[in-house]
Amino acid sequence: MKPDLYLSRWALGCAVLTLAACSPKPAPTEPVRAVRTVTVGAQGQGAGHAYAAEIKARTETLLGFRVPGKLESRSVSNGDAVRAGQMLARLDPTDLQLGQQAARAAQVAAQTNVEQLEADLKRYRSLYEQGFIGAAELERRDAAVKGARAQLDQAKAQAAAQSNQAAYAGLVASAAGVVTAVLAEPGQVLAVGTPVVRLAQDGPRDAVFSVPEDRVAAIRMLLGKPQALTLTLWGQAGTVPATVREVAAAADPVTRTFQIKANLGSAAVRLGQTGTVRLPGAGRTDAFRLPMTAVWESKGQSQVWVFDRAAGAVRQQAVVVAGADRSWVLVAHGLKAGDEVVSAGTHVLTPGQKVRPYAEPASAASAAAH
């Protein structure tokens, strides 16, 4: 073979290899992602009108001192049960005791002055009867006694007030109940009325929950009607009847929901318990309960991914959320019974993306065996 022909063939081969190396690689095929789904309306997910509620005391009071001072000690903690009149906390009483002593000393001085002027008046009255002094002098002495008695009354009132002030150094429970919050610690200097503890008084309990604006009118119609609602406590079987007692006049500025208080009567419930309040006979069929992980937000609108089995892909669906129930959200509009909604991994999906339902390892192995 001629050298020129050999070099030409070698150059042509290098050119082909170079062009092959520079050509674009085909885009990798995106794998079909496995997703967990939940069927709308399955396994009792229909919600009707259901709202998350918390058990609270009918009367809850912030307790503070009626005088300023330095908090010396606190004898209760969060969750402690207390009785009426029990000592809860105490201020440093030194200054208050000194004020009480000063007031008592002023009272003693005023009492001594009255006794002296009354004795003088008695002697001057005798001198007047004997004609040694005139009527004007006797009247002056009588006026002095009346002024001294008025000063004595003032000193007694001040002594009583200072005695009360000294007693206010101790904070006592106004009623029997449970301490639900501690708001001050020993060593802290407190102004008059600064809350020290929050006390939930024994007595009636309420189920407190919030409803959206479109349900306020319906709840208001149940106001005062006995056992118009039912409460299901978390982790307990059975229901507790409840009566709507109070409907908020204005919406919460943050959540834009209205707070409702329902009387539970003499039901055996504990403070802080949670549950679900339901309106019996609520006929809505377009409200469903979904896991919180299934709902996401786009441009201020709640969204879910609906799985289309025929197409093997997901589509974006806008929904209206009516509230929350523990780890669930209540979807009022946008879904129908039987829809399959993606319940996990919603943040990595795109409209029209191909997916497949996730199968548990045990279920997959069983399917393969058959």
What DSSP letter does each residue of 266-310 carry, written as one string?
Answer: T----TT-EEEEE-TT---SS-EEEEGGG-EEETTEEEEEEEETT
Q: Which amino acid is at 30?
A: E
Kindly report, residue by residue over 10-50, the tens digit of the pLDDT.
Answer: 666 655 556 555 555 555 566 778 888 888 875 444 445 78
Query: Which CATH number does the domain housing residue 177 bear?
Result: 2.40.50.100
Tell me, yes or no, whether 207 and 323 share the same domain: no
Domain boundary residue, one of 167, 189, 213: 167
116/219 same-domain check? no
In a domain, 16, yes or no: no
Half-sphere exposure of 101 (CA within 13 A, CB side): 6
The whole-number pLDDT of residue 362 equals 53
177 with 80, same domain: the answer is: yes
Query: What's the pLDDT score for residue 283?
Result: 42
Closest CA to 275 of 325, 313, 202, 309: 325
As a whole number, mean pLDDT of residues 116-143 equals 90
> Do both 267 and 224 map to the same domain?
yes
How many whole angstroms separate alpha carbon 318 and alpha carbon 132? 109
Residue 307 lies in a domain: yes
User: What's this model's pTM, rounded to 2 decimal places?
Assistant: 0.56
pLDDT (average), residues 119-127: 90
Residue 19, domain member (yes or no): no
What residues contact 55, with CB distance under 8 A and at least 6 apart? 205, 206, 207, 208, 264, 269, 270, 271, 272, 273, 274, 275
Could you tell me if 155 and 110 are in contact, meaning their C-beta atoms sit under 8 angstroms apart?
A: yes
Domain count, the chain: 4
User: Are 244 and 197 contained in the same domain?
Assistant: no
* 315 and 354 assigned to the same domain: yes
Report which residue type is found at 58: R
Would you state the pLDDT for residue 21? 53
Q: Can you give the CATH number for the domain in which 252 is found?
A: 2.40.30.170
Residue 366 lies in a domain: no
CB-CB contact of 82 with 176 (8 Å): yes
Same domain, 133 and 222: no
240, 264: one domain: yes
Q: What percent of the chain has pLDDT over 90?
A: 36
Same domain, 159 and 265: no
Q: Which of 44-48, 61-65, 248-252, 340-344 has the lowest mean pLDDT?
A: 44-48
- The reported pLDDT for the residue numbered 266 is 80
- Do residues 343 and 38 touch, judged by C-beta distance below 8 A? yes
Q: Report d(CA 246, CA 223) in Å as an integer.
A: 7
Top mean pLDDT of 10-14, 197-201, 239-243 is at 197-201
Q: For residues 195-217, give the mean pLDDT.
A: 90
Angle made by CA atoms 233, 237, 239, in degrees to the nearest 5: 60
Asked if residue 369 is part of any domain, the answer here is: no
Q: Is there a contact between 369 and 359 (Cβ–Cβ < 8 Å)?
A: no
pLDDT of residue 184: 94
Domain membership of residue 86 (yes or no) is yes
The partner residues of 179 in beta bridges, in order of sequence, read: 199
In the predicted structure, residue 369 carries a pLDDT above the cut 80: no
H helix intervals, the chain? 3-22, 94-130, 135-167, 216-221, 361-369
Q: Which phi-psi region, left, alpha or beta, contains residue 193 (left: φ > 0; alpha: ψ -120 to 50)?
A: left
Task: List the domain range (segments joined by +) for residue 115.
Answer: 94-167
Q: Which two tokens stand for residue 370?
A: 């058959």
Q: pLDDT per residue over 66-77, tens digit each?
A: 999 999 999 999
In DSSP terms, which residues pair with 189 in a beta bridge? 70
CATH of the domain at 345: 2.40.420.20
Alpha-carbon dihedral 205, 49, 328, 43, rounded to 10 degrees: 120
Over range 232-254, report the average pLDDT: 86
- pLDDT (mean) for 344-354: 84
3-state secondary structure of 346: helix
Amino acid 10: pLDDT: 60
Query: Is residue 256 domain-resident?
Result: yes
Based on the domain organization, do 71 and 184 belong to the same domain? yes
